[in-house]
């Protein structure tokens, strides 16, 4: 699918309120534990192994008094318009790509759009685990291609998985499903698609694609009933290591780019080790793949905007840089976007 002449802005990130360390997470597990000291010691050893494997150190959790997670994405959307010199009246559509929601109906995008100040526009949700935000970019671009009246689209997310993190771990075996949740962090983000490039820098979209392996839909879930996150992490990681390199080669073939031409590989951030292993399998320098999990944890849909913003903030993005962005999500779903950095 051609994405020519559609540009993705610099993202705006809003963090949760409290910086939380590995030790804080372990303390919460200890507070909920009801078993023997021997079992607790095994559990803590297992948690530390997960943190070391992922290189987890800090993350942000919690909302300020009187606020909800939706307030953070509203702030991100408003600030993103300011940061990229876009007037609210210029925005034609808003797509909410987050997991967090307070209700099944209507679309969360309706509330977000209204609170941002958008009263009569396209507004809808795309929910696809950690791939929703990236999926929303592909859908927004396709919408713009099909409707010439749509010139600017906000894609946004707020993922505050605080209530989904299960600290109630009373046996070592429970870490298989609950351990990955202990690495999660909370954040909101927004970026804007436009037919015109943004003065402060933007990604010209070249191609985007989605691949889902539906038979593995149950290995990572947040059920409606319990609302607790569970993930068979090893299986998820193994799928990513096997299939992400194939997906990247596929989009390179579609764009006509060579692997050695890519300046930055921007990845989802479930942990350091999986990114390193994907780079090894691709035979690329891991320095081309920013790793920020140790700073913020796995911030779900915000990991890609956050990684792009990290590169931009540290002056790593140069005019003409070729960039591949890829996320892997529960399901198992991958979304990959190829683009070229434009700085006017």
Q: What confidence tens digit (pLDDT) does each residue in 77-114 have?
A: 999 999 999 999 999 999 999 999 999 999 999 999 99
Where are the domains positioned within the chain? 202-342
Reported as a single tens digit per residue, the pLDDT across 138-194 is: 999 999 999 999 999 999 999 999 999 999 999 999 999 999 999 999 999 999 999
- From 271, 273, 291, 185, select the one nearest 229 (Cα to Cα): 185
CB burial of 288-305 (b: ≥16 within 10 Å; e: otherwise) equals bbbbbbbbbbbbbbbbbb
- State residue 160's pLDDT score: 97
Is it true that the peptide bond before 308 is cis, omega within 30 degrees of 0? no
pTM of this structure: 0.95
pLDDT digits (tens, 9 = 90+) for 199-254: 999 999 999 999 999 999 999 999 999 899 999 988 999 999 999 999 999 999 99
Give the model confidence (pLDDT) of 48-87 as tens digits.
999 999 999 999 999 999 999 999 999 999 999 999 999 9
- The superfamily (CATH) of domain 202-342 is Thiolase/Chalcone synthase (3.40.47.10)
Instruction: Confirm if 266 and 278 have CB atoms less than 8 A apart.
Output: no
CA distances from 250 to 81, 185, 200, 219 (A): 34, 31, 30, 25
> Cβ atoms within 10 A of the Cβ of 284, count?
17
Q: Are 183 and 50 in contact (CB under 8 A)?
A: yes
Cβ density class 105-116: b for 16+ within 10 Å, e for less: eebbbbbbbeeb
How far apart (Å, rounded) are the C-alpha atoms in residues 319 and 35?
57
Per-residue model confidence (pLDDT) at position 205 = 97
* Res 2 pLDDT > 60: no
| Contact status, residue 220 vs residue 330, Cβ threshold 8 Å | yes
């Amino acid at each position: 699918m051609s994405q020519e002449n559609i540009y993705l802005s610099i993202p705006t990130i809003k963090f949760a309120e409290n910086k939380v360390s590995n030790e804080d997470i372990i303390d919460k597990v200890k507070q909920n534990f009801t078993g023997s000291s021997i079992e607790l010691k095994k559990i803590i050893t297992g948690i530390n192994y997960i943190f070391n494997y992922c290189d987890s150190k800090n993350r942000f959790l919690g909302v300020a008094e009187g606020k909800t997670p939706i307030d953070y994405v509203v702030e991100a959307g408003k600030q993103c318009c300011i940061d990229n010199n876009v007037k609210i009246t210029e925005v034609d559509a808003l797509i909410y790509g987050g997991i967090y929601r307070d209700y099944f109906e209507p679309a969360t995008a309706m509330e977000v759009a209204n609170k941002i100040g958008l009263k009569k526009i396209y507004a809808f949700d795309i929910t696809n685990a950690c791939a929703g935000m990236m999926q929303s970019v592909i859908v927004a671009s396709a919408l713009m291609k099909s409707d010439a009246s749509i010139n600017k689209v906000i894609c946004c997310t707020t993922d505050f998985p605080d209530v989904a993190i299960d600290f109630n771990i009373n046996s070592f075996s429970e870490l298989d499903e609950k351990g990955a949740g202990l690495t999660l962090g909370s954040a909101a983000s927004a970026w804007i698609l436009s037919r015109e490039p943004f003065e402060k820098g933007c990604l010209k979209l070249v191609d985007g694609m989605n691949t889902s392996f539906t038979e593995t839909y149950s290995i990572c879930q947040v059920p409606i009933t319990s609302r607790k996150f569970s993930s068979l992490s090893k299986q998820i990681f193994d799928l990513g290591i096997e299939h992400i390199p194939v997906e990247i080669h596929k989009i390179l073939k579609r764009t006509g780019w060579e692997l050695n031409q890519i300046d930055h590989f921007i990845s989802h951030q479930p942990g350091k080790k999986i990114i390193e292993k994907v780079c090894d399998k691709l035979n690329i320098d891991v320095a081309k793949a920013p790793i920020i999990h140790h700073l913020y944890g796995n911030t779900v849909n915000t990991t890609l905007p956050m990684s792009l913003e990290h590169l931009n903030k540290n002056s790593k993005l140069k005019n003409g840089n070729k960039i591949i962005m890829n996320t892997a999500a529960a399901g198992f779903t991958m979304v990959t976007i190829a683009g070229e950095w434009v700085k006017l």
